[in-house]
Chain A
Amino acid sequence: MSVRTDVRSRPRGWRASYQPDRRRPWLDHLLGSKQVLGSLAFLALVTVVSVAAPLIAPSDPTYINPVDRLLGPSLKYPLGTDDLGRDQLSRLIYGGRVSLLIGVTVTVASAVLGSALGLIAGFYPRLDAPIMRLMDGVMAFPGVLLAIAIVISLGARQSSVVLALTAVYVPVVARMMRGMTLVIRELPYVEAARAMGLRDRHILTRYVFANAISPLIVQATFIAAYAILAEASLSFLGASVDAQTPTWGNMLRGGQRLLSRAWWMAVAPGTILFLTVLACTLLGDGLRDAFDPRSRERRGDPMLR
């Protein structure tokens, strides 16, 4: 008897009577939430401004003009100038590029790597202990400190920062993904898939991973928030990209040095950093409410007042 090689995730027979559920309660919930829409709008604005920085920025962020040094906010310099006379608004606009780029790269990289490790650890009991003890070990280091150590060892470049922060957040994703896998692999539909002779690879991607995707998206949003914050901390401590590059963390570093003389140098980048991170967190919160029906139902529980 030959083994059928074209086994599909959904048997043909089901198709005729299969009524796709077109209701999307989570989408209605998302689109009805001011919190989610507001955060998305703000993040979209920051992204557009950062991408279009050369078109929007009033001047060159690296142009040094000692005559205009340490000027407060004015019509010519809406956010003032720093101690080298550089326009703070332009630096702020360009600074978003580094923060967002590193935030997005770290999030995607740690989501991919962490998911893979978590799926494997949860699915193959033999590999569980070694992978998870390794993850526990990495998680024992305070994130910013481990990232400093890695960046300093590799040399302060943008790629080192991405690598360091990815190393910090991979275990977070892996731990969550392993937990989801442990639950999902016991469910009847996984058993059915196995009975149909699907390969582990297909079960892992189409059944386990596909059903763990919404918590992953929620977590990725939070990781983006933490990564942006951590990159700023690294810049602030001088363990990130070159100090002359306009980043929010570098601007805050300069602002801290001259805090009592030029408050505007720190307040503007700090506020934008805060708002961006807050928007990511609010978005993650809204997504969790939308994806997790239990958290919505609990709200209506009369026993809880």
Chain B
Amino acid sequence: MTGFIVRRLMLAVPVMLVVGTITFLLVHLTPGDPAAVMLGPEATPGQVDQLRDEMGLNDPLIIQYPRWLADVLRFDLGRSIFLERPVSQAILERATPTLQLTAYAMLIAIALGVPAGVIAVLHRDSLIDKILLLLALTGTAIADFFLGMLLILLFAVVLKWLPSGGYVAFTADPVGHFRAMLLPSLALGISIAGLPARLIRTAMLDVIQEDYVRVAVAKGLSHWTVVTRHVFRNALLPAITVFGYTLGDLLGGAVVVETVFSLPGMGQLVVNSIARRDFPVIQGVVMVIALGYLLANLLVDILYVAADPRVRVTRAVG
């Protein structure tokens, strides 16, 4: 177990280093001077030089790169001249709505997707299976922001049941919070729901072929008992592990959906920074989300091994 965790960490560290390096290189992709691009055409050479100095762009790359990595380790992501505060502070201020949206959307995706996947397996190759598959594909194919707009049109513009956007803190007004978050979470959750549905369906189809399922059927257990106790339970774990990898889609989707519902999250922070060419903010958010995704998957993998003794044995050997 410890050996596995150590090896898994050894695998994660280089990947995190790659993430940091790519983010570092992003600024240097800019043709010309990033500082000049940020300040716009009206800036004086003096101002540009001052910003270059502030961003550390005047030093050679060989000094900039280790300094950047050291800064990242201390969660110092530079300063945004537009927001007039450190990027890390701006990200922390904006993290709550994004994380809430991601969590709610995940719950909705699981609540819709897992039962749909189970029903699809139970009615294999019937009309229900095909309809559910088509629904899953539809959810994946529809742009999450367009789904969000359709939900606004129906529930906010026509029916006037829910607000069309805006954020209410949970501590300020719990009911208002969920009313405000329902539509964005639905938009993101539905567009992701196809994934857990397909994952649980594939995992259950794999488990069905196991000998112990054949035995369970042969010894006369009821269909329902076999499905719930033998198939579903054993399919759940592999499905959950793969689901960890969809966290990236969720976080990326949250960024887009936030802008539709004007939630003050990290996505809105990025989108507002696009027009201003606020490189440090975009860089910071992109990297924080990537590192968060890696950490979450590290955690999922370790929990998976803790929960499933079979994996512990095979992975320790292999």
Candidates A133, A146, A267, A274; contact of B141 at CB < 8 Å: A274
CB atoms of A145 and B270 under 8 A apart: yes
> Please, how many residues of chain B have a CB less than 8 angstroms from a CB on the other chain?
60
Chain A's closest residue to B208 (CB) is: A304
CB atoms of B274 and A133 under 8 A apart: no
Known: A144-B255, A152-B277. A260 touches B290 (CB 8 A): no
CB atoms of A141 and B282 under 8 A apart: no
CB atoms of B290 and A149 under 8 A apart: no
A281 to B191, CA, bound (A): 14
* In the assembled complex, A43 has its CB within 8 A of some CB on chain B: no
Known: A145-B255, A304-B205. A154 touches B31 (CB 8 A): yes
CB atoms of B251 and A142 under 8 A apart: yes
* In the assembled complex, B140 has its CB within 8 A of some CB on chain A: yes
Question: Among residues 224 to 239 in chain A, which have CB atoms less than 8 Å away from a CB atom of chain B?
Answer: 225, 229, 232-233, 236-239
Segment touching B, from A49-57, A81-89, A196-204, A251-259 = A251-259
* In the assembled complex, B252 has its CB within 8 A of some CB on chain A: yes
Known: A155-B31, A299-B125. A145 touches B157 (CB 8 A): no
A141 to B285, CA, bound (A): 10
* In the assembled complex, B294 has its CB within 8 A of some CB on chain A: yes
* In the assembled complex, B19 has its CB within 8 A of some CB on chain A: yes
A259 to B283, CA, bound (A): 31
CB atoms of B260 and A144 under 8 A apart: no
Known: A148-B274, A153-B27, A278-B137. A140 touches B290 (CB 8 A): yes
Chain A residues positioned under 8 Å from B251 (CB to CB):
142, 145
Chain A residues positioned under 8 Å from B271 (CB to CB):
237-238
Q: How far is the CB of A151 from chain B (nearest CB, A)?
A: 9
Interface residues on A, range: 35 or more
By CB atoms of chain A within 10 A, which of B23, B142, B145, B146 has the most?
B146
CB atoms of B152 and A259 under 8 A apart: yes
Known: A259-B149, A299-B125. A282 touches B137 (CB 8 A): yes
A140 to B17, CA, bound (A): 11
CB atoms of B282 and A256 under 8 A apart: no
Chain A's closest residue to B126 (CB) is: A305
Chain A residues positioned under 8 Å from B132 (CB to CB):
none
A273 to B150, CA, bound (A): 14
By CB atoms of chain A within 10 A, which of B157, B252, B279 has the most?
B252
Chain A's closest residue to B291 (CB) is: A140
List 20 additional contacts besides A149-B282, A263-B153, A273-B146; criterion CB under 8 Å. Answer: A141-B22, A143-B248, A144-B252, A145-B252, A145-B255, A146-B290, A153-B27, A153-B29, A154-B29, A154-B30, A237-B256, A252-B143, A255-B149, A256-B145, A256-B149, A274-B141, A277-B141, A278-B137, A278-B138, A305-B124
Q: B-side interface residues toward A, CB under 8 Å?
A: 14-19, 21-23, 26-27, 29-31, 34, 124-125, 137-138, 140-143, 145-146, 149-150, 152-153, 156-157, 164, 205, 208-209, 214, 248-249, 251-253, 255-256, 259-260, 270-271, 274-275, 277, 279, 282-283, 285-286, 289-291, 293-294
Can you list 12 A-B pairs with a CB-CB distance of less than 8 A? A140-B15, A141-B248, A142-B248, A145-B289, A148-B282, A153-B27, A153-B34, A259-B157, A259-B164, A278-B142, A285-B137, A304-B209
